[in-house]
Amino acid sequence: MGVIRLLFLSDTHLGFDMPQKPRIQRRRRGEEFFIHYHKALEPAFSGDVDGVVHGGDIFFRSRVPVDLVQKAFAPLTEIASQGVPVYVVPGNHERSSIPYRLIASHSNIHIFDTPRSYILRTAMGSILFTGFPYERDNIRRRFPDVMLQTGWKNLKADIYLLCIHHCVEGASVGTQNYHYTFRYTNDVIKINDIPVAFTAVLSGHIHRYQVLQKDHAGNRVSVPVIYAGSTERTSFQESGEQKGYVVIEINAKQKSLQWTFHPLKNRPMFQIEINAEGMGAARLKTVICKKLDHLHSDSIVKLRILGELNNEVFSLISASSLRAMVPTTMNIEAVPLNYRKYSTK
């Protein structure tokens, strides 16, 4: 018996920085979100996988224009039409349901719009895909009940996969300076509540690729929790993270599975801190140009400006003034840290 291969991606946040009626001309990041979405789906287009799981947050927010939904579901429909089943978990940005449901309707696209289970039968064995949409009301307490509603216990398969969009105890986010691990709050599923009959959990929601294999006491758990992470960096907090997608290889006979992370080549992203205390605009301009000089022209940059700033300096770090200082291919913004309300976003 050969292996069953699955493509797992999540948090594509399509529609990010893609205004329908842009007021100003500047490079938008919207396109690169689509480029990496398509790149992540390549193993499905080339026939290298037997199924696709999208772990949720297809879109960047819940209210999205109809043409964005069409653009997002076009590749998934194409993959589904080639005979590769697609499983989608509605995330929090979908308000737990997929907008314009009819666009997404295809006999090979399976959406976890309610707690439910789907069986995939292949020559190499069968997989039960169990899942439910993002649950905003105390998933920690409700998890066992929601699991019952999926009906997984009445169904037989070689492999059981749980597809969700939630924090599981032990999942972590952060940067070099700031780190947070989800543990005790109402929106966190206890890792030991996951039924041991499952082979793995595939989850969206956490934007950093990681695999949880231990509980809070440090004991190894029998069901690994795999986060593919987002396919693009959705904020500067993620600037140090390698983005990508996961390919899962399943040996149904041995009831075992392995995963491989495939990195995507995202644009370089930098946060640069400048202490501008006592600087005039001319001096600060020189400092900024020097700092940006060695960066790739394709970079996404945020300047964090410290210190009391005069009006001349404020207009220097306005969005339009900064854009005039850098190549048009660069995305740049500045945040004066001492003035909370001021933003060039």
**In the bound complex, which residue of the shown chain has the CB atom lying closest to Mn ion?**
57
Query: How many CA within 13 A on the CB side of residue 96?
Result: 10
CB of 187 to Mn ion, least distance (A): 13
Nearer to Mn ion, 204 or 336 (CB): 204
Among residues 239 and 299, whose Cβ is nearest to Mn ion? 239
> What is the phi/psi pair of residue 34, to 5°?
-70, -40
Phi and psi at 94, nearest 5°, equal -95, 10
Q: Which is nearer to Mn ion, 56 or 336 (CB)?
A: 56
Start-end of H helices in the chain? 30-40, 42-45, 66-81, 139-149, 281-293, 311-316, 319-325
CB closer to Mn ion out of 234 and 344? 234
Residues that bind Mn ion (CB under 5 A): 11, 57
Going by C-beta distance under 8 Å and a sequence separation of 6 or more, which residues neighbour residue 178?
237
R_g of the chain computed on alpha carbons: 22
Least spacing, CB of residue 95 vs Mn ion, in Å: 13
Comparing C-alpha atoms, which of 313, 312, 308 is closest to residue 338? Answer: 308
- Tokens 């109809």 — which residue? 66
Residue 308 and residue 305: Cα distance in Å, rounded?
Answer: 9
CB of 93 to Mn ion, least distance (A): 6
The distance of closest approach from Cβ of residue 56 to Mn ion in the complex, given in angstroms and rounded to an integer, is 7
Q: Shortest approach of Mn ion to residue 10 CB, angstroms? A: 8
Q: Minimum Å distance from CB 185 to Mn ion? A: 17
What does the chain come to in residues? 345
87/160 with CB nearer Mn ion: 87
- CB 206, min distance to Mn ion, A: 8
Nearer to Mn ion among residue 125 and residue 133 (C-beta):
133
Of 89 and 161, the one with the shorter C-beta distance to Mn ion is 89
Of 110 and 166, which CB lies nearer to Mn ion in the complex structure? 166
Reduced DSSP (H G I as helix, E B as strand, rest coil) percent helix, strand, coil of the chain, to 5? 25, 30, 45
- Give the residue among 270, 274, 201, 202 at the shortest CA–CA distance from 233: 270
Longest CA–CA span in the chain (Å) reads 72
Q: How far is the CB of 183 from Mn ion (least distance, A)?
A: 20
Tell me which amino acid residue 99 is. P
Asked if 158 and 253 count as a contact pair (C-beta separation under 8 A), the reply is: yes
